[in-house]
Structure 1
Amino acid sequence: MFIDASAIVAIIGLEDDADDLMDRLTQHDGQFYVSAVVRMEAVLSLTRQFAEVEGPNKPATPAMLAKARQLVDQFIGDLAAKETVIGDDVGTKAIDAAQRYGKIVNHPAKLNMGDCFAYACAQANRLRIAYKGHDFSETDLAW
């Protein structure tokens, strides 16, 4: 199963559905996968959350980013998730995903760039996607 940044952020950030998402992951008996894009997106999202706690319009600090990075790396390590390679094939599939499901073409899934890469990584490896929200539920790789 490919894990999207939205699921990682929800679980680490202890969002309302964190327990449900974690339960769904623990029910999966196969290998987990992430990508460098997922890792980056999750770290940046958590860093933004840390900055927002400090107050509106407060900038993030290098320490916040380091903390987010450590949490994401630990989460990925705890799941023993493997990192997929983003090569030409995945890049092409990401553009295809944007053309088919993208926000830019006004598809109901409204996939953004990170979502398109998550979709492409999952598709290239014939995996389902673990995610939060409804964007991927509008695709053929829904969880």
Structure 2
Amino acid sequence: MIIDTSAVVAIMRRETDWVHFERAIDESFERFMSASSVLELSIVLRGAADPEIDNFIETMNIEILDVDSSHLRWARHANRAYGRHSGSPAKLNFGDCLVYGAAMSTGKPLLFKGDDFGHTDVPSVL
């Protein structure tokens, strides 16, 4: 699976549904995050130190994926089809487009919180 920033934020902030995301990660044999999502996590969780984020990634056995040209092609597609100015109800932002690219280029489902990706064609873990 590809893990979106939103799922990790839910876990680390202990949001009401955090347990569903942690369980999904625990039950998956393949756990990946885009390097762009890890940076986004550092930005979103300003109160959390990078070592805390790195510890979470290591503890959960999450492999960090480099953003490559295949991710970029899919991210561009996501922006055209589902981006904020596309007219799609998904309204994906920059980071969303990159994680969409990671999921689509690897053929792995996406673990995410919210309804933005639900308006796209990316396979969902939950």
Q: TM-score, normalised by structure 1?
A: 0.81
- Could you say which residue in structure 2 is the equivalent of 1:13? 13
Gaps of 5+ in 1: 51-63
The aligned residue for residue 128 of structure 1 is 109
Which structure has the greater CA radius of gyration?
1
Q: In 2, are the aligned partners of 1:8 and 1:72 still within 8 Å (CA)?
A: no
* Bigger fraction of residues in helix: 1
CA distance in 1, matches of 2:57, 2:112: 15
Q: Which runs of 5+ in 2 are unaligned?
A: none
* Number of residue-to-residue matches in the alignment: 124
> What corresponds to 1:35 in structure 2?
34
What is the Cα deviation at residue 102 of structure 1?
A: 1.2
Q: CA deviation at 1:8?
A: 0.8
Percent pairwise identity: 30
Aligned Cα RMSD in Å?
A: 1.3
| CA deviation map 1:50-75 (0-9, x unaligned) | 3xxxxxxxxxxxxx5xx1x1222111
Structure 2 counterpart of 1:15, which letter? E
1:22-47 CA distance string (max 9 Å, x none) = 1222232x210011100010111010
CA distance in 2, matches of 1:77, 1:84: 14
Decide whether the 8 Å contact of 2:25 with 2:60 is kept in 1: no
Letter aligned with residue 109 of structure 2: R
Divergent runs of 4+, >4 A: none
